[in-house]
Amino acid sequence: MVAVLFWVGLSWVAVIMFNFVPPDAITGKDMSYMLISTVILGLWMWRVWHGGPMAVGYMQKLLSGLGVFAPGGVLLLVVFLQNGFEVRGILEDWPASPYSRSESREVFEDWPALQFRLAVRTLPLIVYGVVSFTLSRMLRRPIVRAWISARADAGRPDAGA
């Protein structure tokens, strides 16, 4: 559970840092959004730590979604780039289309170098997706469900009787 909370917290710090890269552009409205969303995430993580079954279930769904969509989006981008945006070929049949196959092929003549740059730039997002998906699978284990029910039973007033 500590790994899950650490991963979500680390992801949140990365999101906050990349959303506010130019510090001179931060407004009071941006700061209020950041603080409110951080408080909401903190309360959610607190509830996960205390064994809330609904909070853990939503955390599992969030991590599962991130685990599928992060690498999936990256791989879809790579497929489009590898095909030289052949989707533009569909647009060639339209009247007054600005796209042509020759233009899309000229951009990707140096495909091996582009492949290397894509691999280096997309690998962190793929690793992020794999780790998120693995943590979501870990939240489905029977030991986690037993931990959740034990934490929930410990919090009931009649648990000591």
Residue type, 88: R
Average predicted confidence (pLDDT) for the chain: 75
Q: What is the mean pLDDT of residues 61-69?
A: 89
With 60 as the cut, is the pLDDT of residue 93 above it? no
User: Which amino acid does the sequence have at 14?
Assistant: A
How much of the chain exceeds pLDDT 90, in percent?
A: 8
pLDDT band at 108 (very low <50, low <70, confident <90, very high): low
Q: Crossing angle of helices 142-154/53-82, nearest 10°? A: 150
- Cα angle at 24 between 19 and 25, to 5 degrees? 50
Is residue 121 pLDDT above 70, yes or no?
yes
Residue 70: pLDDT band (50, 70, 90) is confident
- Per-residue model confidence (pLDDT) at position 109: 56
Per-residue pLDDT averaged across 85-93, rounded? Answer: 50
Spatial CA neighbour of 82 closest among 107, 55, 103, 63: 107
Say how far residue 137 (Cα) sits from the centre of its chain. 15
Single-letter residue type at 122 = T
Report pLDDT for 159: 52
Identify the pLDDT of residue 96: 47
Q: Render pLDDT for 20-40 as a digit per residue (tens, 0 to 9).
A: 666 677 777 878 888 888 899
Handedness of CA 29, 30, 35, 41 (dihedral sign): positive
What SS3 state is found at 84? coil
Comparing 76 with 105, the larger pLDDT belongs to: 76
Counted residue by residue, the chain has a size of 161
- In which band, very low, low, confident or very high, does the pLDDT at 43 lie, cut at 50, 70 and 90? very high
